[in-house]
Amino acid sequence: MPEQHQPADLSPPIGVSYVMPVLNDATHVRAAVESILAQVYDGPVEVLIALGPSIDGTDALVADLASRDDRITVLENEAGSTPAGLNLGIRAARFPVVVRVDSHSMLAPEYTRVAVETLVRTGADNVGGIMDARGETAFERAVALAYTTPVGLGGSAFHVGGQEGPAETVYLGVFRKDALERVGLFDETVKRGQDWELNRRLRATGGTVWFTPELAVTYRPRSSVERLARQMLSTGLWRGELARRFPAANGIRYFVPPAMVVGVALGLLLGIGGIVQAALGAAPWMLVGFAVPAVYLLFVLLATLVFARRSGAATATWFVAVLPIIHVAWGTGFVLGSLSLTRNIAGHTGR
């Protein structure tokens, strides 16, 4: 049974500390910070940017932002990882509410007000909403569409929406700082999927993770095939690692992509064996293996017809490619992560 605890009262004016880990993201970080400074919120606020060792000009950009607004503080995140940056910011936070912000995200103007009101109303430890993926190019729009449909990333409420209420996990999160301290902050050994792992501990200690569709955060998808594949491989690696660490805490949707990858790989190998059989004059019964990748290809084409046919020809064309990239990279990563290969591979996959 989870422990029972009484959440501390949040008395107005409720101060808010925004915590944003940043590493090599000069393209998006200014818009993310500007969306924080534009929040319609009456309480005191601070913006804590945990800056990892960057080589793309992010450090100069962040320094410029801090010089223009005394609410912004830059913290040096020598480790460079997301959970290390989050913990650095949380420890430095002066206020009782911590808002996690990603440098690829932009908060709606009412985001903080709605989130804090929901924290107070529900007594939850963490409140979050929808990752509202929005792309600008045809490729990015295809990725955003994949993120927000059940066939892309599994149909979690924070991707596709749903009713307000307790949840397994949410996107980003607005936390009671004392709840974060209660469970020991983020696990810095988990480089991706740290939100899910932290929320698991919050729930295990009697806390509530609360989803509300009123909260939507605009998210900018990766802009190229390489960046998307690296992101999905890394995410899958750590999802597989978490499944290995906590085997009883994983829904079946996490196992569908790796099962597909294994099935398609075995089917292709079997089919190739059938070609060899035919070349040697034997009955090519192993050609039946090609049925597995054929069924998957049919699934991708049907999914494109259902979800992308109204998105324009360019986006629909990219969608046909984006779905397999997500599924294969994520599923392959999951298999490798579940085999305890995370630490050997994840460092080479990038952000």
Per-domain residue ranges of the chain: 16-221, 248-348
Q: Which candidate, 293, 308, 22, 286, places its Cα nearest to that of 151?
A: 308
Measuring CA to CA, how many Å separate 195 from each of 126, 169, 278, 287?
11, 7, 51, 44
Indicate if the pLDDT at residue 3 is higher than 60.
no
User: Alpha-carbon distance 304 to 138, whole Å?
Assistant: 14
Predicted confidence (pLDDT) per residue in 307-317, tens digit: 888 888 999 99
Q: Mean of the pLDDT values across residues 246-272?
A: 87
The answer, as to whether pTM is greater than 0.85, is no
Assess contact for 173 and 258: CB atoms under 8 A.
no
Predicted confidence (pLDDT) per residue in 149-204, tens digit: 888 776 565 555 678 899 988 988 999 999 999 999 999 988 888 899 999 999 99
Radius of gyration of the CA atoms of the chain, in A: 22
Q: What string of H, E and C letters represents the secondary structure of the chain?
A: CCCCCCCCCCCCCCCEEEEEEECCCCCCHHHHHHHHHCCCCCCCEEEEEEECCCCCCHHHHHHHHHHHCCCEEEEECCCCCHHHHHHHHHHHCCCCEEEECCCCEEECCCHHHHHHHHHHHHCCCEEEEEEEECCCCHHHHHHHHHHCCHHHHCCCHHHHCCCCEECCCCEEEEEEHHHHHHCCCCCCCCCCCHHHHHHHHHHHCCCCEEEEEEEEEEECCCCCHHHHHHHHHHHHHHHHHHHHHCHHHCCHHHHHHHHHHHHHHHHHHHHHHHHHHHHCCCCCHHHHHHHHHHHHHHHHHHHHHHHCCCCCHHHHHHHHHHHHHHHHHHHHHHHHHHCCCHHHHHHHCCC
Q: Mean of the pLDDT values across residues 101-127?
A: 92
User: Alpha-carbon distance 279 to 298, whole Å?
Assistant: 28
Predicted confidence (pLDDT) per residue in 46-56, tens digit: 999 999 888 88
Does domain 16-221 correspond to CATH entry 3.90.550.10?
yes
User: Alpha-carbon distance 19 to 116, whole Å?
Assistant: 15
221 token code pair? 């998808």
The CB density around residue 233, as the number of other CB atoms within 10 Å, is 24
Assess contact for 93 and 17: CB atoms under 8 A.
yes
Predicted confidence (pLDDT) per residue in 26-63, tens digit: 888 898 999 999 999 999 999 999 998 888 888 888 88
Residue 350: per-residue pLDDT: 44
Residue 1: per-residue pLDDT: 44
Predicted confidence (pLDDT) per residue in 68-106, tens digit: 999 999 999 988 899 999 999 999 999 999 999 988 888
